[in-house]
Amino acid sequence: MTPFTSALLAARPALLRYARRLDRRDPEDLVQETLARALARQATFAPGTDARAWLFTIMHNLHASRMRDLPRRPLDGALYFDPDRDATPATYGDPELPLRVRDLAAALQALPPTYQAILHATAIDGLSYQNIAVAQRIPLDTVRSRLSRARAILRSLR
């Protein structure tokens, strides 16, 4: 297995998490298409750079292309975490934990989609601000301001 292939396989779980955030209906297809495109364009990858950021950029661009091709429709506020499906009652510890998880998920869904994406990329995927800016093709200061605003909104919803 080549180092490039190993990097693709290592990034797959993070890609799937991000794909669930972007495309609730078919995240596996988005990951598969991203990996296929990465393999087809392996020659454009600069060795020594962050493969995850490169893959996230490919996925973000694929998703943007898909959205442009779809007819205009209202956003459904998709968030990959569904508290009714994913939260399980705690068998020990804090009995209010499931309620707080539900409240947090509701607060996250109340955020505008652009803020959700930035918060998800930093908190869940662990991407740096610079990698997010590159992947989403926005200035670094925009990443910082959106993250700050998202956090401020979440604090105000307490």
Please, what CATH class does the domain formed by 1-73 belong to?
A: mainly alpha
pLDDT band at 77 (very low <50, low <70, confident <90, very high): very low
Rounded distance, CA 14 to CA 132, Å?
Answer: 14
What one-letter code names the amino acid at 156? S
Please, what CATH class does the domain formed by 82-158 belong to?
A: mainly alpha
The CA-based angle 60-87-156, given to 5 degrees, is 70
How much of the chain exceeds pLDDT 70, in percent?
A: 84
**Comparison of pLDDT for 140 and 4, the residue scoring more:** 140
Q: Is the pLDDT of residue 90 over 70?
A: no
Interval 138-147 mean pLDDT: 94
> Structural domain boundaries of the chain?
1-73, 82-158
3-state secondary structure at position 150? helix
Structural contact between residues 38 and 54, judged by C-beta atoms closer than 8 angstroms: yes
pLDDT of residue 92: 57
Condensed to tens digits (0 to 9), the pLDDT of residues 31-56 reads: 999 999 999 998 888 888 888 889 99
Structural contact between residues 146 and 114, judged by C-beta atoms closer than 8 angstroms: yes
